Amino acid sequence: MIRLCGFALSNYYNKVKFVLLEHDIEFEEVFVQPSQDEAMLVHSPLGKVPFLQTEEGDLCESQCIVEYLAARFPDKAIFSADPWEAAKERELIMFVDVHLELTARNLYKEAFFGGTVTDATKGRIEKLLAHHIAGFGRIAKFAPYLRGERFSVADAAGYVSLPLVGMATQAVYGRDFLLDAGFDWKNYVKTINGRPAAQRVTEDRKAYIAASRPT
Ligand SMILES: N[C@@H](CCC(=O)N[C@@H](CS)C(=O)NCC(=O)O)C(=O)O
């Protein structure tokens, strides 16, 4: 049985969980938090979540995990069968994960965790995000899904990460860069919320937050 290790607040954990649920792949969730302990590093070399435990060993990096699942369960059609469509889905995922989320991640300390980021970082990330969001806008359709009329695996990435980009920029700069650029991620998320897999991911995230709140 596949074991998905991580926790329900992690967007990358939730991206993989969404894919597993969406395609009815049997799995078990194992609560693991990021850590630099040797006991963790033997499973996830950078101490990050998610990682997957399989009969053959551990695998980290959410996109490598999704690719592994697609190869292991070909009948589930995680990516489109058409090679061009599948490549465009991967392109969108790369934009969401790397160009948008990973860039916005530099702001999370101040946006979500009560810390501060330097003005230099704010300036650098503002420029980078403006550039990356403009590029994303050249390929993302939001009609209503990222690739167009049909839900695709790219929406698992979009669903868990676009809100973080919007909320982080709102918190740090006082304006939501995605909304400002005309990308209504709130409506997009609402559309995807119609899917049972998305509902489960969101309910579990909310339950995790509620349980972690000091009483
Ligand atoms: N590229 C990785 C990113 C994973 C990641 O950054 N996970 C976060 C939680 S959302 C984490 O473990 N952070 C702890 C750290 O960076 O040390 C993936 O796609 O799985």
Which of 55, 76, 97 is the last residue in one of the domains? 76
pLDDT per position as a tens digit, 133-176: 999 999 999 999 999 999 999 999 999 999 999 999 999 999 99
Mutation test residue for ligand 1: of 4, 16, 35, 48, the one with most atoms within 8 Å of CB: 48
Q: Which amino acid is at 12?
A: Y
Could you list the residue range(s) of the whole structural domain that residue 70 is in? 2-76
- Residue 21 Cβ < 6 Å to ligand 1: no
- Could you give the number of structural domains in the chain? 2
Please determine, for residue 214, whether its predicted confidence score (pLDDT) is greater than 90.
Answer: no
Residues 91 and 181 in one domain: yes
The CATH number of the domain holding residue 181 is 1.20.1050.10
Please determine, for residue 213, whether its predicted confidence score (pLDDT) is greater than 90.
Answer: no
Ligand 1 center to residue 4 CA distance, Å? 14
Q: Which amino acid is at 71?
A: A
pLDDT per position as a tens digit, 34-91: 999 999 999 999 999 999 999 999 999 999 999 999 999 999 999 999 999 999 999 9
Contact 50, 6 (CB under 8 A): yes
| Nearest protein CA to atom 13 of ligand 1, as residue | 48
Q: How far apart are CA 6 and CA 213, in angstroms?
A: 19
Contact 95, 142 (CB under 8 A): no
